[in-house]
Amino acid sequence: MKLYYSPGACSLSPHIVANEAGIPIELVKVDLKEHKLGDGSDFYKVNPKGYVPALKLDDGNMLTEGPAIVQYLGDLKPETGLIPAAGFGRYKVAEWLTFINSEIHKSFAPLFGNASDDAKADAKAKIVKRFNYVNGELAGKQFLTGDTFTVADAYLFVMTTWSHHMKIELPENLRHFFQRVSKRPAVHKAMLEEGLVKA
């Protein structure tokens, strides 16, 4: 399998999940400004949407949305608990993936673009509000759904790394979550492989 990624982007989430599950993947770096691969080829020919992550399966099939990719990877190794089997637990993970995707991830968009100062301030205020909600949900828990690290936690972790770059302070429980997850060997390995931390 090939994972098309850009260092530190939301593609870090499936990268972490693959490492957590012990699934070997070939990493293919994408220049998102130029939409080019390392060999100069057009990334749009790989993913017409033009963004990462994209996961090319060995049979040639392609998945291109992070929440779908992490569930697929988790299902390859159900024994890891990264994605629960069918039932309420699975729907809770899906609920978190949806919330992170629509309410946190998308709220960062103005901060990465050429938005006005007012738009950026509004975006930061929304992110802070969402982080405060997550902070409350993390009270008394190691991870979003309890004591088991899931694909949703991998996605949330990436959002917390973005908050550091944007100088958005994390509330206490979320800060402890970030510290806890960053020490996981699979997470550290993914960040090392993307050049985000030093050995």
pLDDT tens for each residue of 55-75: 999 999 999 999 999 999 999
Residue 195 zone, left/alpha/beta (φ > 0; ψ -120 to 50; rest):
left
Where are the chain's structural domains? 2-79, 82-186
pTM of the prediction? Answer: 0.97
> What's the length of the chain?
199
Query: What distance in Å separates the CA atoms of residue 19 and residue 139, rounded to the nearest whole number?
Result: 27
Q: Using a pLDDT cut of 70, give the percent of the chain over it.
A: 100
Pick the CATH number of 82-186 from 3.30.460.80, 3.40.640.10, 1.20.1050.10, 3.40.50.170: 1.20.1050.10
pLDDT digits (tens, 9 = 90+) for 87-140: 999 999 999 999 999 999 999 999 998 899 999 999 999 999 999 999 999 999
Query: What distance in Å separates the CA atoms of residue 114 and residue 144, rounded to the nearest whole number?
Result: 32
Tell me what the mean pLDDT of segment 173-189 comes to: 98
pLDDT digits (tens, 9 = 90+) for 19-53: 999 999 999 999 999 999 999 999 999 999 999 99
Domain 2-79, second-level architecture: 3-Layer(aba) Sandwich (3.40)
Query: What distance in Å separates the CA atoms of residue 57 and residue 22, rounded to the nearest whole number?
Result: 16
Our CA dihedral for 79, 84, 86, 87, rounded to 10 degrees, sits at 140
* DSSP characters over 111-146: HHTT--HHHHHHHHHHHHHHHHHHHHHTTT-SBTTB
pLDDT at 54 over 90: yes
